Amino acid sequence: MSKPDYHVVFSPKAVQRLEELADYLFEKTQSPEFVISYLEKLENYLVDILTLFPESGTPMEKYGVGIRRLSYQKYSILYRISADQIDILTFYRVNLP
């Protein structure tokens, strides 16, 4: 049996959190190039890791059935695997709720 071809989908909450992250990074760096580069690297990391190893994240059942967590630098990413896609649910700073 072959593995499904997953695609990564960002929830509205995840998109909102990415926009907040972009605003924060721009405020700190004043560099749109840095912000774009950071977000591209983050997205590439998620797509590369999760399409190849969808179950690589730590199970986080306290957030709901099937929820997993990956870390990227100082951020945690919550996601859920469905039949043929990976749903990115939200992002948060590791040291914040």
Number of domains composing the chain? 1
pLDDT score of 74: 87
Cβ atoms of 68 and 59 closer than 8 Å: yes
Rg of the chain over Cα atoms, rounded to whole angstroms, equals 14
Please indicate, yes or no, if residue 83 is contained in any of the structural domains: yes
- pTM for the whole thing? 0.86
68 lies in which domain range?
Answer: 7-93
C-alpha torsion 10→14→18→20, nearest 10:
150
Please indicate, yes or no, if residue 2 is contained in any of the structural domains: no
Please indicate, yes or no, if residue 80 is contained in any of the structural domains: yes
The encoded tokens of residue 65 equal 């059935």
CATH number where 12 lies: 3.30.2310.20
> Maximum distance among all alpha carbons in the chain?
49
Please indicate, yes or no, if residue 1 is contained in any of the structural domains: no
pLDDT score of 1: 47
Task: Please give the chain's pLDDT, 97 residues, in tens.
Answer: 456 688 999 999 999 999 999 999 999 999 999 999 999 999 999 999 999 999 999 999 999 999 999 999 889 999 999 988 999 999 998 765 4
**Residue 33 to residue 1: CA distance in whole angstroms:** 43
